[in-house]
């Protein structure tokens, strides 16, 4: 990815109510290709835990025990238990106003909208987003660690399951991207970043690469860069504009601005 020189201080707004959003910010330019990057903060108000907030998933589990290929090789039962519990929670929640606004943007925006999510939940697609990249995989799919076959999977996984493609046992795992593994569709992502003129990062702390570097790629392509997050992220200095507040509040207002509403 192209290196980026330091950015000037972002225009930061503290968002307090939807009404306040009506007069915040500059008039939107006529964009042609919007790239949206989403993270756990977008799904938080649907009832899914984030990772690095005070009560987040990584405050209760060690990454090295549950989210690496080495952990799966060492103790597959513990890793599968961790994801079985999270899968059950995901099956019981639905999209929120933030997901719905982004689906509306894709449907109504006259140009192209590409959504890249780090989230493994299905809430974007359930809200209606179609041009979607699940770069960290999908918890409602299983993958075989032996042959790589992937399939929809909504029930618990266990070590005695046999892969229907290669007939080997012990390799069935959630189709998610662990630390040290290559995220999905990186070529498509870099192509999208290279052609976008607006990049919006929503609900992500900016701690995990390569996603944390996408803002630099978008800036290199000349895009306007915006952060919508509860609080300033690790990468805040890279954004030209930032609005801080809950995703269910700031995202619908920002989308309305883009759609001229
Ligand atoms: C709200 C809100 C509300 C709350 N409204 N906002 C050193 C330098 C650079 C890179 C590395 C390095 N050392 C290692 C690396 C690479 C590594 C990495 O980045 N490590 C870092 C820890 C430094 N990355 C990888 O390994 C990646 N692969 C890779 O790089 O491949 C290349 C390669 C491979 C092999 C050989 C050579 C090269 C893979 C990363 C995989 C990440 N996987 C996880 C788990 C997925 C499955 C699962 O769900 O269990 O993905 S980790 C976890 O973090 C999950 C998330 O997608 C990801 C990002 O988290 P996110 O979404 O940002 O959540 P939070 O909790 O961090 O932030 C939430 C934000 O929302 C907060 O800011 C809140 O304030 C906000 N919020 N409520 C709005 N209501």
Instruction: Give the tens place of pLDDT for each residue, 92-133.
Output: 999 999 999 999 999 999 999 999 999 999 999 999 999 999
pLDDT value, residue 249 = 98
Sign of the CA dihedral with 33 first, then 218, 119, and 237 last: negative
Testing ligand 1's pocket by substitution, the residue of 18, 133, 208 carrying the most ligand atoms inside 8 A of its CB is 208
For 229-255, the pLDDT digits (tens) are 999 999 999 999 999 999 999 999 999
Closest ligand 1 atom to the C-alpha of 56? 66
- pLDDT at res. 37: 99
Instruction: Kindly report the backbone phi and psi dihedral angles of residue 5, in degrees, each rounded to the nearest multiple of 5, phi listed first.
Output: -80, 165
Question: Contact, 245 vs 217, CB < 8 A?
Answer: no
pLDDT of residue 125: 98
From the CB of residue 90, how many other CB atoms can be counted at a distance below 10 Å? 22
Q: How far is the CA of 208 from the centre of ligand 1 (A)?
A: 3
User: Contact at 8 Å (CB) between 149 and 166?
Assistant: yes
pLDDT at 14: 54
Out of 62, 115, 209, give the residue to mutate to test ligand 1, the one with the largest number of ligand atoms within 8 Å of its CB.
209
pLDDT recorded at residue 5: 30
- What is the structure's pLDDT at 4? 28
Please state, in angstroms and as integers, the Cα–Cα distance from residue 136 to each residue in 30, 110, 133, 180, 209, following that order: 31, 28, 9, 12, 11
Closest ligand 1 atom, CA of 51?
Answer: 66
Distance 5 CA to ligand 1 centre (A): 23
**Chunked mean pLDDT (size 10), the chain, 261 residues:** 39 49 49 98 98 97 98 98 98 98 97 98 98 98 98 98 98 98 98 98 98 98 98 97 98 97 67
Q: Is 61 designated active site? A: no
Distance, CA 101 to ligand 1 centroid (Å)? 24
pLDDT at residue number 7? 45
Whole-number pLDDT of residue 261: 67
Q: Give the residues surrounding ligand 1 with Cβ less than 6 Å away.
A: 39-41, 44-45, 50-53, 56, 67, 118, 120, 136, 176-183, 203-205, 207-210, 229-231, 233, 246-247
pTM: 0.93
């Amino acid at each position: 990815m192209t290196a980026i020189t330091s950015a000037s201080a972002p225009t930061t707004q503290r968002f307090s109510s939807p009404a306040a959003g009506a007069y915040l910010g500059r008039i939107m330019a006529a964009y042609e290709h919007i790239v949206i990057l989403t993270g756990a903060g977008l799904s938080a108000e649907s009832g899914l835990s984030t990772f690095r907030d005070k009560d987040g998933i990584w405050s209760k589990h060690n990454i090295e025990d549950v989210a690496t290929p080495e952990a799966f090789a060492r103790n597959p039962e513990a890793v599968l238990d961790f994801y079985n519990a999270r899968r059950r929670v995901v099956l019981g929640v639905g999209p929120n106003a933030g997901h719905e606004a982004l689906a509306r943007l894709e449907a109504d925006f006259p140009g192209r909208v590409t959504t890249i999510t780090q989230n493994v939940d299905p809430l974007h697609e359930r809200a209606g987003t179609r041009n979607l990249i699940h770069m960290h995989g999908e918890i409602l799919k299983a993958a075989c660690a032996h042959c790589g076959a992937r399939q929809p999977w909504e029930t618990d996984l266990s070590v005695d399951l046999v892969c229907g493609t290669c007939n080997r046992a012990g390799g069935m795992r959630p189709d998610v991207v662990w630390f040290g593994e290559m995220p999905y569709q990186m070529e498509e992502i870099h192509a999208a970043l290279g052609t976008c003129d607006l990049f919006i990062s929503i609900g992500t702390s900016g701690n995990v690469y390569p996603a944390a570097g996408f803002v630099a790629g978008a800036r290199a392509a000349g895009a306007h860069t915006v952060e919508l997050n509860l609080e300033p992220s690790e990468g805040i200095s890279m954004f030209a504009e930032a609005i801080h507040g809950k995703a269910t509040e700031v995202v619908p207002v920002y989308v309305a601005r883009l759609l001229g509403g």
